[in-house]
Homo-oligomer: A and B are copies of this chain.
Amino acid sequence: MQIISGTEIAAQIRESLREANEKEGIRPVLAIIVVGYQQESLSYVRLKEKAVTSIGGETHLMVMPENSSKQSLLNSIDRLNQDKGVDGILLQLPLPDHLQKDKEEILSAISLEKDVDGFTPANRGLLSGDGAEFTSCAALACLEVIERVYPELEGKRAVLVGDSFDVIIPVATILLKRGCPVSIYPNYQEGLVNRADILVVEKGGPEIIEGAEIKGSPLIIDAGFYWEAGHSCGNVKGDSVTDNEGYLLPVPGGLGPMLIAKLCENLSQAAWRNRGNNTGIDTDNRDLKD
């Protein structure tokens, strides 16, 4: 299989954004709210900060105490909504246990125009209607890979595995609106890979898909993430597919870096709109088949 480098595509996207922001003299500002001091959340946040800096933007990190109340979080979000100097607001998930039941209400407080993660219920719902202000970065990353491999979707069969609001449901909705039939399975079942031209697999298990199972030449987007014996991996056993036909967006170095690049793209769009510049950027849609 041809291994698609999410790291490389992410670097291309960020470089296009850096150039565009520099040309327009725009410095996008992302506010990041973290509740508590979870090491894993803070590591992700560092990656996002670094990416935003690389496109000529800046981040304001607000680390709130672990025991913050719902109301204090809503107040913080409201201040950032009002702040004209902030283009995008990101609430790092997961929230501490005592706030989990209020997650949707808290996300709902983020202004749709600053919701660069595309996680507010309203932006999620708008996708099935007239279109969202912002779409989930992970879903946008999947779609960019799909478009690079298959510029034409006609006649393609997409199989999606999982039921998440940030990957599977939005990818399904967008493909469908573009005329592409989709089949969605809550969990991976053996052989599913052979029913798909495009397989997005979020729910499976560590390295459960091996090359020996794959008969055709699918595009596989691995949207799983596991720690096994001290290294990260996805649903596909990467070193088992070298002799197969098709394309793989692997874990690590696949969806992870790409979704952060898509966050930078959403943030830049928010900043351009915020400053009355609505032209947008054509990201480098290099066709992997050429």
Binds B, one of A46-54, A119-127, A228-236: A119-127
Binds B, one of A19-27, A36-44, A174-182, A254-262: A174-182
A126-172 contacts to B, CB under 8 A, are 126-130, 163-165, 169, 172
Binds B, one of A183-191, A213-221, A267-275, A278-286: A183-191
Cβ of A107 to closest chain B Cβ, rounded Å: 8
Task: Tell me the complex Cα distance, A6–B185, Å.
Answer: 29
- A123's nearest neighbour on chain B, judged by CB, is B125
* Chain A contact residue count (CB 8 A cutoff): 30
- Starting from the known contacts A121-B123, A179-B186, 18 additional A-B residue pairs (CB-CB under 8 Å) come to A104-B130, A108-B122, A121-B122, A121-B124, A121-B125, A121-B126, A121-B129, A122-B125, A124-B125, A124-B126, A125-B125, A125-B127, A128-B163, A128-B169, A172-B172, A172-B184, A176-B184, A184-B184
Residue in B120, B125, B185 whose CB lies within 8 Å of A120: B125
Cβ of A79 to closest chain B Cβ, rounded Å: 22
- A170's nearest neighbour on chain B, judged by CB, is B128
Task: Tell me the complex Cα distance, A122–B128, Å.
Answer: 11
Cβ of A40 to closest chain B Cβ, rounded Å: 21
* Residues of B close to A185: CB separation below 8 A: 181
Cβ of A220 to closest chain B Cβ, rounded Å: 18
Residue in B108, B169, B180 whose CB lies within 8 Å of A173: B169
Whether A181 and B181, one on each chain, are in contact in the complex, defined by CB atoms closer than 8 angstroms, is no
* Residues of B close to A127: CB separation below 8 A: 125
Q: Does A237 lie at the interface of the complex (its beta carbon under 8 Å from any beta carbon of B)?
A: no
* Residues of B close to A165: CB separation below 8 A: 125, 128-129
* Residues of B close to A177: CB separation below 8 A: 163
